Amino acid sequence: MRAIRTLLAGLMLAALSGMGALLLPPLAVAGLVLVAAVLTLHLTGRPPAPAPPEAPPDAPEESARILPLVRQPPPAVGLSAPHLAALMEILERLALNAVEDTNRSSTDFITRLMDIETRVSSANHQHSAALAELTQIDAMAEGHADDRTVIDEAINTAIGFNQSIQVEYAASTNALQEVETSISELHKELGTISRIAKEIDLLSINAAIAAARAGEAGAGFSVIAQAIRGLALETHNMTLRMEPLLQSARGTVQSHAARKQDSRDRHKGEIGQRLADQVTLLESMRVKLRQLATDYAALIENNRADVEHSQQAGQDVEQAIRAAMATAQYGDIIRQQIETIIGCLKTLRAVSERGAPLAETEPELERLLGGLSGGYVMDSQRRAHAGGGPGTPEEPQVELF
C-alpha cells in the first residue's frame, strides 16, 4: 500500500508541476488531482483527515499540535471499476491533448526561430557582401590617391612649362636685340670700308699724277694706280649697294622687335594673368581632391564600422535565438512528464478494468513505481539543457518530491 500511496502522490505532484508549467487549462489539472484523490479513497480507504474545528474568538490559544490520523472505514458506496476506468480515460485524453498542443506550439516556436535565424544569416551574408564592396571601394580610393599624385605631377609640370615659356620669350627678345646690335655694328664697318675706299681712290689719283710727271719711267706705276683706283671704286660702289640692304634688314629687325615688344606689352599681363589663374585653379583642385580623398576615406571607415557593428549585432541575435531554442527544448521535458503520466494512467486503467484484488495488483503497481522511479529525471534533464552537465551518481533519480 505504501507503493500505491507514493505512486499516487507522485502523479499529483507531476500533474501540478508538469501541467502547470505547460499552462494547461485548469480542467486538466483539476482532473488529475481529482482522479488521484479518488484513487486514494478507492484503493486505500483513507479520506483526507478532517480539519480541526475553529476555536471561538474569545477562547484561549492552544499550542499547535499534530492530530493523529484515524483510519476510517471504507465508504458505504465507492466508485466502481468501470467508473474509475472512464475517469482515467478522460484524463488520458486530456493529457494526450496537452501533449499534442505542446508539440504543436514547440514546433511552431522552433519553426519561427529557424525562420528568424535564416533571415539573420541572410542579413549577415549581405553584410559580408557589403564589406567586400567596401573593400573594393577602399581599393578604388587608393587608386584615386594615385590619380591625385599624377594630377599633382601634371600641375608641377604645367607650372614648370609656364616658367620655361617665359624664359624662352625673354631669350627671343634678347636675340632680336643682339641681331639689331650686330646690324648696327656691320653698318659702322661698311662706313669704315667706304672711307678706306675713298682714301685709296685719292691715293690712286695722286699715284697717277706722279706717274704722269715721271714720264716713260712711271708708265708701269700708272697702270697699277689705275687698277687700284678701279678696286677702290668697286669697293665704294659695293658699300653703296650694301647700305640699303643693311638699312632694310635693320628696319625689319627694328619693326619686328617693335611689334614683338608691343605684343609682349599687350599680352604679357594677359598671358601672365591667365597662367596665374590656371595655376590657382589647379592648386585649388589639388586641395579639394586631397580633402575629398580624406573625407572619402573617413566615410569608408564609418561605413565599415557600421557594417561590422550590424554584423556583430546579427551574430548576437543568432546566439540569442539558439539560446531561445535551447530554452524551448524544456517543452520536450514537460512532454516526457506527460507521457509518463499517460503510461501510468493506462496501467492503472488496465488494473481497474480487470477488477482484481489489491493483493494481485500489488506486484504490478510495484513494477510501475520502479519504472517511474528509473525514468523520471526531470531536474537532471533541466540541468543538462541549461549546460550544467549531468547529475552526480550520488543524487537520487526520483525527483518527484
The CATH number of domain 143-316 is 1.10.10.10: no
Task: Give the distance, in angstroms, between the CA of residue 168 and the centroid of all CA atoms in the same chain.
Answer: 56
Choose between 123 and 48: higher pLDDT: 123
Task: Give the distance, in angstroms, between the CA of residue 311 and the centroid of all CA atoms in the same chain.
Answer: 7
Q: How many CB atoms lie within 10 A of CB 204?
A: 21
Is the pLDDT confidence value at 78 over 60? no
Give the Cα separation of 377 and 400 in Å (integer): 9
Q: How confident is the model at residue 171 (pLDDT cuts 50, 70, 90)?
A: confident
Q: How confident is the model at residue 180 (pLDDT cuts 50, 70, 90)?
A: confident
Q: Which residue has the cell 477562547?
A: 59
C-alpha cell recorded at residue 18: 508538469
* Longest Cα separation, the chain: 206
Choose between 266 and 319: higher pLDDT: 319
The Cα angle at residue 297 between residues 291 and 300, in degrees rounded to 5? 140
Mean pLDDT over all residues of the chain? Answer: 65
Nearest to 206 by CA among 191, 192, 214: 214
3-state secondary structure of 51: coil
List the domain boundaries for the chain: 143-316
Q: pTM of this prediction?
A: 0.37
Q: Does residue 361 contact residue 43 with C-beta atoms inside 8 Å? A: no
Give the Cα separation of 51 and 261 in Å (integer): 133
Tens digit of each residue's pLDDT (9 = 90 or more) over 197-256: 777 777 777 777 777 777 766 667 677 777 777 777 777 777 777 777 777 777 777 777
Tens digit of each residue's pLDDT (9 = 90 or more) over 8-31: 455 545 544 444 444 444 444 444
